[in-house]
Amino acid sequence: MTAQGDGATVDSACARFRDLPSVHRVLEWPGVVALVEQYGRTLVRHEARALLEQGRCSAQAEIVGEFSEEGIAHALRERIAERLAPRTKEVFNLTGTVLHTNLGRAPLADAAVQSLERTMRSAVNLEFDLKTGQRGDRDWLIEDLLCELTGAEAATVVNNNAAAVLLTISALAGRREVIVSRGELIEIGGAFRMPDVMKCAGAKMVEVGTTNRTHVQDYSDAIGPKSALILRAHASNFVMTGFTASVEEAKLAEIAHRAQIPFVVDLGSGSLVDLVQYGLAHEPMPQEMLAQGADVVTFSGDKLLGGPQAGLIVGKKQWIQKIKRQPLRRALRVSKLTMAALEATLFLYRQPEQLAERLPALRMLARPQGQIAALARRLAPMLASVLGPAFLVSHAPVQSEIGSGSLPGQVLPSAALVVRPCGGGRGSGAKLQRLARAMWALPVPVIGRIADGALLLDLRTLFDEAAFAAQLPALRAAGGF
C-alpha cells in the first residue's frame, strides 16, 4: 500500500511538471520581460530553459514554487543573480597566516590601487617613449627603481618568481649544467620543485654536498667544461637546524667568477628593507646578495615586498641583457596592470620612514600584540551575543605566521577570538564546521582556522573593525544560531 501511494505521488508530481510552461511563454511574462530588459534575452532564455528542465519530472518542486508566473519569475531572478555574482570576493583573512597564498598574499597599498584604476581606464605609455615617439621596453617603468633600491646594474620583471627562476636558468644555462646544493632542492606550494624547473629550463642539474652539509670543495670539484652557473636557492617553508653547513654567498661568487660563470641567487620572498627594525627576524635582501657578489637575484613581488604578483630579476647588466633576449621572456611578461601596481609599490620604498604606515603587508606584520589584544577584547562580547548559548566565545594570545615561505619558522605574537561549542563532546566538531561555513557565507566571508577543538579568528590582519562587527548579526540567519 505504501509503495502504491508513493508511486501515485510521483506520478502526480510528474504530471504537474509536464504542465510547466514553455520557454517562449515564460519570456512573455511581464516579470520576465523586465529581466530581459535588465540582463538581455540570451542569458534569460538560457537560464529559463535550464530552470524548466530542472523542474520537469524531478522531486524539487520548490525550484518553481507552485509553477505560478510569480514563482517561476522569482526563481529565475535568483538563478540569474547567482550566475552573475562575482566569484572573486573580498574576505576577512583571520587564519593567522598573514601572506596567505590561497587568499591572494599581500594586499596592495592605496597608491598601487589608485595606479591600477588609472591604468585600467585608459591607454597608457606602456611601451611608448613620450620623448622620442619610438617604441620602448616596458621594463623602463620599473628598471631604474629596482636598480636604485637594490644596487643592481639592470633589471627585468616576469609574472612570478617561479617564472623568474625558469627564465634565468633557461637563458644562462640551457643545455648546460647548473650546480646546486642537495640541501637546496626545495619544493614549495603547488608542487613547485627546483629539479623540475631545471628540467623544464633545459639545464642539467649537478647536485653537490649532502642534504644537511655542503662545503666549498663540493662546489669546486663540480666545476667542469659544461658548467653554466652556480645556483643558491633560499630555503622556503622550512628551517634546517642541527648538524648543518653551507657556503657563504661571497665564497660561492668567488668560485663562480674564478670559473667565469655567473652566480645566481633565488631569494623567493624578496624583502627590500631590513625587517629587524620592525621586530622581525632578518630576511636576506637582494641588495645584500648583490653586494656579496651575486650576478643575478630573483625574488617575488607579492610577498614581503608587498606588491602585485611578479617575479623580479636584478643583477649585472651583461646577464640581465642575456635574460631579456631569451624568447621565453615574452611568454612570461606581465601586463600593464602589474607594471602599474609594481611601480607604485616601489615608489613607496623611496620614503622608508612612512613605509610601515603605507604598505599593508608591513603594517600587518609589524602590528603590536597589545593593539590586537585590545581589538579581541572589544569584539568577543559582540560575537558572543550573536552566537548565543550554543557557543562559548573568549579571546586568547596566539601566534601568527608570515606565510608564503617568508621567514620560515618565525611566529608573531597575536590575539584571537576563540569559539568553542558549549558542552563539548560528540558533535562539537560538526558544530564548528557549521559555524565556519556560516562565516564563509557572510557578505564579506570570514576565514578562520579550526584547531584544538575551537574556531580561531586571528585578528592580526583585521583593520576594518566596523565592517567586521556590522555583519556579525547576519550569522544568526546564515547559521540559525
Which pLDDT score, from 0 to 100, does residue 319 have? 98
Span 276-290, mean pLDDT?
Answer: 94
Position with higher pLDDT, 36 vs 17: 36
pLDDT at 2: 41
User: pLDDT band at residue 191, thresholds of 50, 70 and 90?
Assistant: low
pTM: predicted TM-score of the whole model, two decimal places: 0.91
Digit-coded pLDDT (tens) for 296-309: 999 999 999 999 99
* Calpha distance 15→213 (Å, rounded): 77
Please check the confidence at residue 4 and state whether its pLDDT lies above 70. no
Instruction: Report helix angle 41-55 to 30-39, nearest 10.
Output: 130
Query: Across residues 254-282, what is the average pLDDT?
Result: 95
Residue 372, φ and ψ in degrees, nearest 5: -70, -40
- The DSSP output letter for 19 is T
Give per-residue pLDDT as tens, 310-333.
999 999 999 999 999 999 999 999
Residue 412, beta-bridge partner list:
400
Give 64's pLDDT tier (boundaries 50, 70, 90). Answer: very low
Whether 128 and 284 have beta carbons less than 8 Å apart is answered as no
Q: Please check whether the domain covering 92-100+367-479 is classified as CATH 3.20.20.70.
A: no
Residue given cell 576594518 in the structure block: 464
pLDDT band at 244 (very low <50, low <70, confident <90, very high): confident
Q: Can you spell out the DSSP letters for 370-418?
A: HHHHHHHHHHHHHHHHHHGGGEEEEEEEEEEE--TTSSTT-EEEEEEEE
pLDDT above 70 covers a percentage of the chain that reads 91
User: What topology is assigned to 110-358 in CATH?
Assistant: Aspartate Aminotransferase; domain 2 (3.40.640)
pLDDT at res. 242: 86
How many other C-beta atoms are found inside a 10 Å radius of the C-beta of residue 319? Answer: 21
> DSSP readout, 211-277?
SSB--HHHHHHH--TTEEEEEEE---S----SS-B---HHHHHHHHHHTT--EEEEEES--SS-GGG
Integer CA distances (angstroms), 468 to 339, 427, 473, in order:
32, 28, 10
pLDDT band at residue 20 using 50, 70 and 90 as cut-offs: confident
Torsion of CA 81, 82, 83, 87, to 10 degrees: 120
Give pLDDT tens digits for 166-184.
999 999 999 999 999 999 9
